[in-house]
Structure 1
């Protein structure tokens, strides 16, 4: 079997296992530890809600994007075509899956290039791993005429993958080289094990524009790669890492770099939770993949439109006219998330009173003599 065929088979395996995980569902989620405090008179006019946000210095019409999934085989090329159409029809940005297969074998270029062909005016992100050279990163960007470049971090996946990498010591320096060597913003994302505060601060210091925390709680690539191992002997690494919620809490006050959220997002409410915890945007991969594979393109397009409408409705009730305004909403953080935060010295109590600090409407003037309406008898 050629190298390209081997990579293509692996990509097909990833899609199959990822969709299977989504079908099984996820019993618990740290998103369920985040509750909005309901203020019954906080609501605003639905027409005042604007979903626009800014990502990597570029205005986006919505804070939702289709995150990196696949490419490199005939089957995954068909998936990318449909994802690109969904992005085009709904106005979402979209990220390519890892382009390592293309960088090794240009014959699979069209399985990625279809993202731009079907979405000529959209925001498209190319995707490489930290082993890519600057020239390879430029080639990836050029193939897609990409607006930005994602670099994915996946050391846990690689260590479980039978044919994976075993040396990660050069990754920080190589990321820095790519940042200085390409002419588009660079986003660094985890594939489902989370970015710690220490990691996000390092990414900021080497010039990365956006850190996508890519937390645990969704597709588990340790589990996927273990299923591909002959002995399936590394199953105990399933669930490794920090959840998306915990990552957002840990990086809430890191300045100088934007933070995006992905990993285990199930509903528009989870998107609102991410935005309320400081994310500039939220990416979805596994959930959308399942819908596409099981129900087809039209259903995916309809689902995305429904999600955007429902997100706007949630923001209406919360009194948040923009995604950024959600950071002033009061949150209750409980369960394992609260315990984890306390162990890291994060005071979760402050989240319950944020609306008091953000209040901009002056109080009504006090009447010296209260008026009383006469009630006829």
Structure 2
């Protein structure tokens, strides 16, 4: 039953990605062009640091799948691509492993094919500390993701219906495992209020994972006998909205959900993300062309992110938070309703004390969302 559900998730997610219009609120974010801002590419470093974690590049393959023979093959290809490009990788929810230990290799392949890479295990918010430790041990994981997905569970025919324990469980896991804990949504976004609660719980990092990409309300609705919950399609806040809402919360944030190309990666970094992840496009790429196709895509993205940083005058991902950014359209309307001032993002380069001042960039970043 679980294996069938995981295979269905892959099928519906892929179909959804193929028919997606391509527009989302990342298109409401643009850079002010400064023609003399560029620097030498040799001076650019893609390394990013946040919550005691350091990655070679500010890009990761976010949680997708596992739990069936087919998804085990997908995870193998994802792991090979991560190994060859140096990007971090997260497993899909490991609930199938807890229900059936014979599915272990569909997850452990992530470490088997990527022995020296940064691997994140993934559990749901109902997991016990013991299960969280088992997940970390199976993958020899460097960090643990806890996913929160109340809307998906609500629409899922066999989903959870009790959510009051999630907060206490997250707090217990954060205190009970020996690796950094990252709490992530699955595509509906983390609000400022949620981020502040997570910080109080001892969570080290949060992945805002907003709307605009794979829609799990739609996926679960597609799995129902009747599309009873079609009105929930598109629920939640976009990733750019979550990043702007997160300003000053003090917990490092990652960005995923609706990321389509390297410009979206750079936009998210400029809005305060420490790193940026994607799932849907990477899944489609692997299904169409295997690990070689994803290696090519990831390599291209890394190269283009570095090129854009060079043109924008950012020596590190953190320095992108000193670039001038304009907020338009529906995203600006969201900010107005939430009381989020956006004018400062359009002129923040003016406060630099000298050309590309590291200290002033750092000040801007601390204002946005914590120390990398």
Shorter-chain TM-score range: over 0.9
The residue that corresponds to 1:226 in the other structure is 221
The residue that corresponds to 1:245 in the other structure is 240
Residue of structure 1 aligned with 2:334, choices 323, 340, 361: 340
1:303 is aligned to 2:297: yes
Taking the aligned partners of 1:268 and 1:329, their CA distance within structure 2 comes to 16
The residue that corresponds to 1:375 in the other structure is none
Q: Give the total of aligned pairs.
A: 357
Query: Residue 273 of structure 2 aligns to a residue in which SS?
Result: coil
**Unaligned 5+ runs, structure 2:** 357-372
The residue that corresponds to 1:264 in the other structure is 258
**Unaligned 5+ runs, structure 1:** 1-5, 363-377
Query: Residue 347 of structure 2 aligns to a residue in which SS?
Result: helix
Residue 87 (structure 1) shift = 0.3
Taking the aligned partners of 2:341 and 2:153, their CA distance within structure 1 comes to 35
Taking the aligned partners of 1:116 and 1:356, their CA distance within structure 2 comes to 46
Taking the aligned partners of 1:360 and 1:172, their CA distance within structure 2 comes to 45
Residue 265 (structure 1) shift = 0.1
Residue of structure 2 aligned with 1:132, choices 123, 127, 134: 127
The residue that corresponds to 1:215 in the other structure is 210
The residue that corresponds to 1:122 in the other structure is 117
Taking the aligned partners of 1:231 and 1:339, their CA distance within structure 2 comes to 34
The residue that corresponds to 1:112 in the other structure is 107
Query: Residue 109 of structure 1 aligns to a residue in which SS?
Result: helix
Query: Residue 296 of structure 1 aligns to a residue in which SS?
Result: helix
Cα deviations by residue, 1:207-244 (Å, 9 ceiling, x for unpaired): 00110000000000000000000111111100000000
Taking the aligned partners of 2:305 and 2:167, their CA distance within structure 1 comes to 36
Residue 27 (structure 1) shift = 4.1
Query: Residue 233 of structure 1 aligns to a residue in which SS?
Result: coil
The residue that corresponds to 1:353 in the other structure is 347
The residue that corresponds to 2:366 in the other structure is none
Taking the aligned partners of 1:105 and 1:55, their CA distance within structure 2 comes to 34
Residue 146 (structure 1) shift = 0.4
Cα deviations by residue, 1:70-104 (Å, 9 ceiling, x for unpaired): 00000000000000000000000000000000011
Mean Cα displacement is larger for which, 47-56 or 180-189?
47-56
Residue of structure 2 aligned with 1:325, choices 319, 341, 347: 319
Residue of structure 2 aligned with 1:74, choices 61, 69, 77: 69
Taking the aligned partners of 2:354 and 2:159, their CA distance within structure 1 comes to 53
The residue that corresponds to 2:285 in the other structure is 291
The residue that corresponds to 2:149 in the other structure is 154
The residue that corresponds to 1:141 in the other structure is 136
Taking the aligned partners of 2:289 and 2:72, their CA distance within structure 1 comes to 18
The residue that corresponds to 1:367 in the other structure is none
RMSD across aligned positions (CA): 1.1
The residue that corresponds to 1:372 in the other structure is none
Taking the aligned partners of 2:196 and 2:51, their CA distance within structure 1 comes to 17
The residue that corresponds to 2:367 in the other structure is none
Cα deviations by residue, 1:253-297 (Å, 9 ceiling, x for unpaired): 111x11000000000000000000000000111110011111222
Taking the aligned partners of 1:343 and 1:131, their CA distance within structure 2 comes to 33
Query: Residue 264 of structure 1 aligns to a residue in which SS?
Result: coil
The residue that corresponds to 2:17 in the other structure is 22
TM-score by length of 2: 0.95
Residue of structure 1 aligned with 2:189, choices 170, 188, 194: 194
Taking the aligned partners of 1:232 and 1:342, their CA distance within structure 2 comes to 34
Taking the aligned partners of 1:292 and 1:228, their CA distance within structure 2 comes to 23
Taking the aligned partners of 2:78 and 2:234, their CA distance within structure 1 comes to 27
Residue of structure 1 aligned with 2:45, choices 43, 50, 57: 50
Taking the aligned partners of 2:271 and 2:295, their CA distance within structure 1 comes to 27
Cα deviations by residue, 1:167-216 (Å, 9 ceiling, x for unpaired): 10110001000111100000000000000000000000110011000000
